Chain A
Amino acid sequence: MTNLFIGNMSYVEATLAAQRKVLIEKNKSLILGINVTSPSAIFGSVKGLYEEFGENRVIETPASENAITGIALGLATSGHIAIVVHQRLDFAILSFDMLINQLAKWRFMYGDNLSAPVIVRMIVGRGWGQGPQHSQALHNLFMHIPGFRVFSPSTPQDIYSSILEASNLNCPSILIEHRWLYSTSGNVDQTQIELKNPTRTHALSESSLVTVVTISFSTLEVLRARTILEHEGVKIDVFEVVRLDQLELHSILESIHKTGKLLIADIGHKFAGAGSSVLAELVIKGAQFQQPPVILGLPNYPTPTSPSLSATYYPSCFDILKAITSLSGLDLNFVDPDHESMLDIPGDRFIGYY
């Protein structure tokens, strides 16, 4: 039986479809941002919406990120659902006053008398020399601020469901979208208007040797590693933490109980990052390890621009393979699967989700 609502979509198509559904179904919803009416349409993620819904629903804004965030909050307070789009997460830093001092606290500090359904989309850049101010993955900052719902989905289904879930909340949401996910694709059930699980199980097996927790784009590198490991007969459990403001760790704890080994792969800085918070929560909830857990993330310096410098900056599939081999104590040798490619571009290997 075919279902009209289930089909294959790219991540960017799912992002677009979800926003379009919000605009159609909620007549007081709107999208604001710099370049949301431009021909490039934020990497295509708002393509055609301005033409379809007009200038009162898809609103080009001045380069005033802080005021625009406050204006979005004023709109939300007046019964609108406001989607604010930042072509780079780095640009949203200009709005941290409004985000942290006002938006996150809005409902609480007025005794739940006001609502703040603002959805802030932040795109994380990587590669082609994006450098120090076009590539920051600072999702951990938003995890730390009470009041936000923070989504960092890696699958088309989850970005679709996250946007729709956010549109039905009276609190603000932060959406972390890694740019390298945009061309990946997968099945999307458009009736799924809430995130099915805050933590997505990608791989689970009785005989898994290592538990791997992923965030955002790192999920794709881990799943590549998983395929390579499977050829060697090695199994791993893979869990992606999709919602970062409230960690759902039950399935991860069960897996650690079985494997005793943990690798966390994050897209942000390793030190005091999202990975550290996940690890701390796991430890507090009783996780016990046979080996010290490993976190793979970015080193403690800003993103360099030259491809030669970024080659060692981002954890690669090869780094993941080495970490898993070391944790599991297996005597395996791998060739770096990326040894022939430049790590500053995503390459064809990420077309199609697996």
Chain B
Amino acid sequence: MKKDKLVSTDLVLKNLKIRIDECTEEVKKFLLIYYIREVEMKIAAEYPSGLMRTPVHLCIGQESIPVGISEHLFSHDKVLSNHRSHGHYLAKGGSLFSLFAELLGKQSGCAKGRGGSQHLIDLSVNFIASAPILGGTVPIAAGVAFSHKLQNLDGIIVSYLGDAVLEEGVLFETLSFASLHSLPILFVVENNRLSVHTYINKRQPERELKEIGPAFGLKAGEFDGNDIVEVSNAGRDYINYVREVKKPAIIFFETFRRLEHVGPEEDFNLGYRDPAEVKLWLAKDPLEIALQNIFDNKNKVKSIDQLKSQIDYYIDNTWKLALQAEIAQL
């Protein structure tokens, strides 16, 4: 069955009215990271007004991962996610208006105001669902992949999860089933090493995370999740593997949560973060790395500022439209 072969991240740029034929791959990556960053910054800036009455788990610092994954996804590929889902949703082409409207509790929100930030959905771009219970959408994503397998459908499924899901039994039930039935699914683990305020070394034994994959018969690898080039290359390899070999894989990305677990602020003052780690990761900002990548590849950059303000305008304008939308009613 032949489907629309539109690349998900190209769709995002098209929606932003950016002429993708005039952008190099490096510029596209940067603009996508910038778009997600600026949406999250907009939410953080507006949050104190109290109009968004939903807990927000912002993904600032982790934007490279959904970009480097969605670059290799087509419209008919499907994504399921967790509570920190804004980046996953936006990189797959999820409607910004429907996101803002959902956060503002509007009827035209993607879940009609019933789900808020933690239950994003946009079926028009095959962003199937996101849910905050740890591991909640992991087996559901496998069920979607099982449907693809049973019907011999084109397309793969991406299941995003955080490192704390490695502590949930349902993940291992799902990895086992996915492997047993050779499901076309890629599990993407975003390892920011923090579960709310608790570091992974207090929660999990010391081990090579990627060893979990082969234990269940899955191809597995671990990469730097803040370096867009590394994420993109790994994303391409693993997605091609799932697509062509038609077997599941799991990919671990180390990354860094810039803000508090939930809410718009930084929380370095709470003292639970390791200062050396913070320093290390602040120097590895995804946006800076993506910008450097443009220079490294000797791209012309004269239009970058103009493209950035085009994105800023789109975000501000969409926010204003969402503010004007009707409130949700049952």
Contacts and interface: CB of A to CB of B under 8 A. Distances in A.
Interface of A: 30, 56, 61-62, 64, 66-80, 97-98, 101-102, 108-114
B111 A75 contact: no
Contacts of A72: 143
Given A64-B173, A78-B143, A108 B133 contact: no
The list of the 5 closest CB pairs from A to B, nearest first, reads A74-B143, A70-B139, A111-B112, A67-B173, A64-B173
A66 B129 contact: no
A244 B150 CA distance: 34
B96 interface: no
A104 to B, nearest CB: 13
Nearest to A101: B133
A74 B123 CA distance: 14
Nearest to B78: A78
29 contacts: A61-B177, A62-B177, A66-B139, A67-B170, A67-B173, A68-B177, A70-B139, A70-B170, A70-B174, A71-B140, A71-B142, A71-B174, A72-B143, A74-B145, A75-B144, A77-B128, A77-B143, A78-B148, A80-B147, A80-B150, A97-B133, A101-B131, A102-B137, A108-B114, A109-B119, A109-B131, A111-B114, A111-B121, A113-B110
A74 B141 contact: yes
Interface string B85-128: 00000000000000000000000011111110001010100001
Contact of A113 (B111, B142, B145): B111
B146 to A, nearest CB: 6
Most central of A56, A71, A80, A108 by chain B CB within 10 Å: A71
Nearest to B119: A109
Contacts of B142: 67, 70-71, 74
A86 to B, nearest CB: 15
A55 B249 CA distance: 24
A79 B78 CA distance: 14
Contacts of B121: 110-111, 113-114
Nearest to A66: B170
B169 A66 contact: yes
A75 B121 CA distance: 17
A110 B123 CA distance: 10
Contacts of A78: 143-144, 147-148
Contacts of B177: 61-62, 64, 67-68, 71
Q: Chain B: interface secondary structure? A: helix
Nearest to A111: B112
Contacts, number: 116
A284 B148 CA distance: 49
B143 A73 contact: yes
Given A111-B112, A111-B121, A113-B121, A97 B170 contact: yes
Given A62-B177, A67-B174, 4 more contacts: A66-B139, A74-B146, A77-B128, A78-B144
A110 B129 contact: yes
Interface in B178-192: 180
A79 to B, nearest CB: 7
A73 B136 CA distance: 11
A39 to B, nearest CB: 22
Contacts of A76: 143
A70 B133 CA distance: 12
B54 interface: no
B118 to A, nearest CB: 9
A110 B147 contact: no
A78 B129 CA distance: 12
Nearest to A112: B112
Contacts of B129: 77, 110, 114
B318 interface: no
A92 to B, nearest CB: 15
B290 interface: no
B143 A70 contact: yes
A30 B137 CA distance: 21
Interface in B253-292: none
Nearest to B157: A74
A113 B123 contact: yes
B322 interface: no
A187 B307 CA distance: 72
B190 to A, nearest CB: 20
Nearest to B109: A111
Contacts of B123: 113-114
